Every structure is written in structure tokens, then in C-alpha cells.
Amino acid sequence: MANFELKLPKMGESVAEATITSWLKDVGDTIEADEAVLEIATDKVDSEVPSEVDGVLVEKLFNVDDVVQVGQVIAVIKTEGGDTVEVKATEAKPEVKEDTAAPKQVAEVEQTVVAARESVAPVASTEDRFYSPLVKNIAKKEGISQVELDTIQGTGKDARVTKNDIKSYLESRSASPVVTSTSNTVVEKAPEPTQTQGKPKQAVPEPKSIITDGGDEIIEMSRMGKLISKYMVDSVQTSAHVQSFIEADVTNIWNWRKKVKAGFTKREGENLTFTPIFMEAITKALKEFPMMNISLEGDKIIKKKAINVGMAAALPDGNLIVPVIKNADQLSLLGMVKRVNDLANRARLGKLNPDDIQGGTYTVTNVGTFGSIMGTPIINQPQVGILALGAIRKVPAVIETSEGDYIGIRYRMFLSHSYDHRVVNGALGGQFVKAVKDYLEAWDSDREI
């Protein structure tokens, strides 16, 4: 018998930590290789951590909502065979572990109960919040009362207070003297700890009173919804958003796709949508205008060598995710079709890997999917531009020919370009979106794929 340490795997560039959202296996459960043991969440994507071996889960080292660093051991799995880690009574070891762990667990539970009695009973907290045993133990050890604990804003699931939340609170509180008082004085002076922090809005949240009428329903935002909300607000507060709009005639593309779609699907087993065609045109424009393929870090401009185009995709639950087409300029149109379809399908099924959403240098969103003809999209930080593709409409239009102008039915769409006016002026923003239009309108109707 041997112990295998299950570690938090690397999840792509710039991802250093993840939050445990749920354990799929309990201590004592049998696990097969590649079977998911727990679910984790990074800042944008949820994923599972599979076991690398067959065995039995004997220990969990972290609780739900704990933040774990990449490379940290999160669980211990006992495997059959291999080197013997401990010689003592291998058959009875699980029982011995349970027996020795039980008093410790009982002691922790008793301490938690004592802490609850000391803080909750005399205080009568108005917050119906869940606290993990780890958070309660830290609170008891540091002398944090229930009233004081209720004032800490949580960043975990359902606004739970995580280990990092309480540690951050302790760091901010350490700048002020801690007053030890009886339970009665704690009730009378509950606001004092928050006033000494200098951040009353964070430490003392306003009462969470929600006024509803009749059959109103209160719906808690999902974890991803909260993150998206925060990112959108942060982006608007960070970038000086400016928009340029232009209309493109995509009649040639419409007719070409109609002509080759059936044969392409039969031959390649892939659906030919408009998205990869648009992505190709946008990629060409990024090569022509490399200063749109940059990011802004503080007062430093980073000119990106790779062209990694993100495509915003709607999820079944109504949320949004942005998988990235890496090195888009190196793909043929066929390669672009396959990459777009693969990312879109895995996004809908929740099968994206953390690396699939990392490293984007420019973003595209297709608002036309929902019938919108244009939009004002919000920039995906730290990028400096995002392009919204409007719905393709059949409209009467003036057609210029060598023999004169006439009215005809054309397929047209609006391109809405949002860019960061801190580093992208109107000339560059307008030239870029016009280049996309020009590439689309110059489509070769005889092109083979």
C-alpha cells in the first residue's frame, strides 16, 4: 500500500490558484484513474480535478471555498501495490487513522460548539450565514466575536467567508488595538472594530433588507455571474470606451456559404458558420494594424507577437465565457472552422480547460446571434479592443456600377468597434474596423475550402 498525493494541477498561464467549489468524493470512497475527485473554479472557468491513480480517498486537506495554490497537495489517495509508505498494520491502517482522527475531530467540534455558545448565544446575530469549521476555528483563536465575524464580507460561494477573507480582515485589524471585552460589552460596542479599520463600508455592510411585492422571486447570482459583473464594472472604470460603427456588404459571403455549405459538411463533418469567416477577416486586420493587438499594463503598452482572438460564447445558464483561438493568423479557413466549432461545442458542454480561455489579445462578440444589429461591447481587460458582429439583414441598397447606380437587395451587417481611447485614437479605431469591412466585401466567390 502506498499514499499518493493529489496536487492542484497547473491550469494555464497566469493561473496561480483556484477555489474548491465541491468535493465529488468522500473519505473512504473508491476512485478510479481519471475519475473526478473535486470541482474547482478559477476567475473565469470551472473544471474538475481527476485522480491520476486507482485507490481509496483517505484524506481531504482542504474544505469547500478554500483557496489552493497550484502544486499544493489537496488530497491523499491510498493505492494498491507500489512501495510501502508505512509498515505498521497496513490492513488496519484505515481503521487506526479513523480512531486517531476521531478524538481530534471531536475536539474541533467541541471547540466550535464552545465558540458558538460564547459568541452566538448572547449576541443573537441577524445574519443567517454559513461558516466553515476552519473559519470558526480561526475566529475563536483570534478572539473574533460572532458580531464581528458577521461584519466580514465573504468572497466565497453564496458570499461565504473564506480563509483568505478572515486573514485579510485580521491583517487590516492588526493596525488597530484589539479590545477584549465581555459578551455584554461586545453587544453594546459592536461597531467599534469596524470604525478603527478606516473602511466602514467594507467592514459594516448595510443591512441586507430586500423589499418585495407579492410573488416576487429573489434569485442569488451565480459565482460566475458575480465575477462577470465585477469584471464588467472594472473594465468600464478602467478604459475610456469609444465606439466606431461601419456597415459591411456581405452578399458575396452569404451566397458563397450557401453554395459550399452542404458539400463541406458532408466532406468534413463540420458545420460551416459565418463566425470563422469573420474571424479570418479580423485576424488579417490585426496583422495590418498591430497596435490593436496590444495590452495596457499600468502605463506600459505591451505589443503582442501572437494573435490570439477570443470569441465570446453564451452558456446555457445565461452566463458568458470567452474561449481563445490561439495563433489565429496561422490557421487556414478550414483550420479556423474546426477550431471555432471545437471551442464553441466545449463551451456549451462546460468542457473548456483553463488554458482555453487564457492569453487572448483581442475579442469578438456576435450580438447578431440574438437579432441585434449593433452593440457597444465592453472591453475584455487588459486588451484594448472588442468587435461586435451585428445580425445579417436583407435590405435594399444602392449598388454602384460602371453603368450607373441602381437599387438592389443586398445582405448587410453592422460592425461595432469598442476601443480604449487611452491608447487607441479615433483614426486607428476607425481604420481597423474599415479594414475588416474591406476584407469581408472583397470575398472571393470562387474560393475553395
430-433 LR contacts (CB < 8 Å, sep 24+): 430/244, 430/246, 431/289, 432/285, 432/286, 432/289, 432/292, 432/385, 433/244, 433/245, 433/246, 433/285, 433/387
| Mean pLDDT, rounded, for 349-358 | 87
Which three three-digit cell numbers place residue 155?
468572497
For residue 206, what pLDDT band results from cuts at 50, 70 and 90? low
Reply yes or no on whether the pLDDT at 443 is more than 50: yes
How confident is the model over 3-58, as pLDDT tens digits? 899 999 877 655 778 889 899 999 999 999 888 899 888 766 677 888 989 999 99
Give the model's pLDDT for residue 224.
Answer: 78
Which of 115-129, 183-197, 342-356, 431-445 ranks highest by mean pLDDT?
A: 431-445
Share of the chain above pLDDT 70, in %: 77
**Residue 382 preceded by cis peptide, ω within 30:** yes
Determine the angle formed by the axes of helices 333-348 and 275-288, rounding to 10 degrees.
Answer: 120
Give the model's pLDDT for residue 251.
Answer: 97
How confident is the model over 315-337, as pLDDT tens digits? 877 778 999 999 999 999 999 99
| Mean pLDDT, rounded, for 361-371 | 95
pTM of the model: 0.62
* Whole-angstrom distance, CA of residue 131 vs CA of residue 122: 18
Average pLDDT, rounded, for the chain: 82
Q: Which residue has the cell 495590452?
A: 295
Give the model's pLDDT for residue 90.
Answer: 34
Least confident window among 22-36, 57-71, 139-153, 334-348: 139-153
**Contact yes or no for 313/323 (Cβ under 8 A):** yes
Give the model's pLDDT for residue 187.
Answer: 40
Give the model's pLDDT for residue 435.
Answer: 98
| Mean pLDDT, rounded, for 221-247 | 91
The residue among 271, 251, 249 whose CA lies nearest residue 260 is 271
